[in-house]
Amino acid sequence: MRKLCYSHIIPEFCYAATYRGPHGQAAKVAFSPTGVGHTSKVQQGDREYLLCRTCEGIVNRYETTFNEQWYGATGLPEHVTGKWVSVSEIDSRAFRLFHLSILLRASVAKRCFTYVSLGKHYEEALRCFVREGVAPPDSHYPLCGFVLVDNGGRVMHEIVFGAVPKIDRANRTRAYVFAYAGCEWWFIVTDHPTPAEIKISTLLSPHGIRLGVKRFHESETRDRFLKQVRVSIRNEPDQWKGLKC
């Protein structure tokens, strides 16, 4: 049996902006399918013993490529205006595999992200894509993103949260919403997409990705995030002293 590495689920570089406060730590809120949250202080992103050394090396390559392109001079701007923004200088194959590797890690994790469950079929399919370095067909597992900005248009890289599960009631398609790298990411879990899901998949192409723009107060998890943090402040005032929300 291969020894497993202590692997990040969301890469540590995505947490960098959250540690810039006076105490070098962040507030983390995790949600369950019923909407119940748990808040904790963190100084490092979630990790578990997940990947063998070979797979860890494969995923690290996707992470390095994303880090260099997304946070580089031609990547996501620091300030965004308007309703849409495009990032063109990306390797779309590595970009998709980077994000899908996060979804896969969240699903197979036993301690963290327990409310993310892709099922055997989708887990095995994504495992093969990630391991072999071959992206799925463009219309399968469509991904779309919304840049999260404050009222001044500054991209909010400090917002990192685990998946909020969603269900499309019309066709029972599952989706999960994460936030990291300045964006809210919607993962649609399907390999038999509807016409609407196929349209969503066209936002990412070999020419780059087109992203919507959202103020944080419009984001999918903002209300749940704030509600749970306020509960934690009320229940544990000494632990959360100085934190206002």
Amino acid identity of 170? A
Exposure on the CB side of residue 152, measured as CA atoms within 13 A: 4
pLDDT at 31 over 50: no
Which residue, 152, 207, 162, is CA-closest to 184? 162
φ and ψ at 219, to 5 degrees? -75, 160
Q: Give the total residue count for the chain.
A: 245
The pLDDT score that the predictor gives to residue 222 is 63
The pLDDT score that the predictor gives to residue 147 is 95
pLDDT at 204 over 70: yes
CA 177 to chain centre: 7
φ and ψ at 9, to 5 degrees? -95, -60
Predicted structure pTM score: 0.83
Strand spans (E) along 33-142: 37-42, 47-52, 84-87
Segments making up each domain of the chain, as ranges: 4-235
**pLDDT tens digits, 46-105:** 778 888 889 899 999 999 999 999 999 889 999 998 999 999 989 999 999 999 999 999
Q: What is the DSSP letter of 217?
A: G
The pLDDT score that the predictor gives to residue 83 is 92
pLDDT bin (cut points 50, 70, 90) of residue 7 is confident
More confident residue, 190 or 41: 190
Burial of 56 (0-12, 13-18, 19+ CB in 10 A): middle
**pLDDT tens digits, 124-172:** 999 999 999 999 999 999 999 999 998 899 999 888 887 778 877 666 7
C-beta of residue 245 within 8 angstroms of C-beta of residue 225? no
pLDDT at 23 over 50: no
Q: What is the DSSP letter of 235?
A: H
Minimum mean pLDDT among 1-5, 117-121, 123-127: which range?
1-5
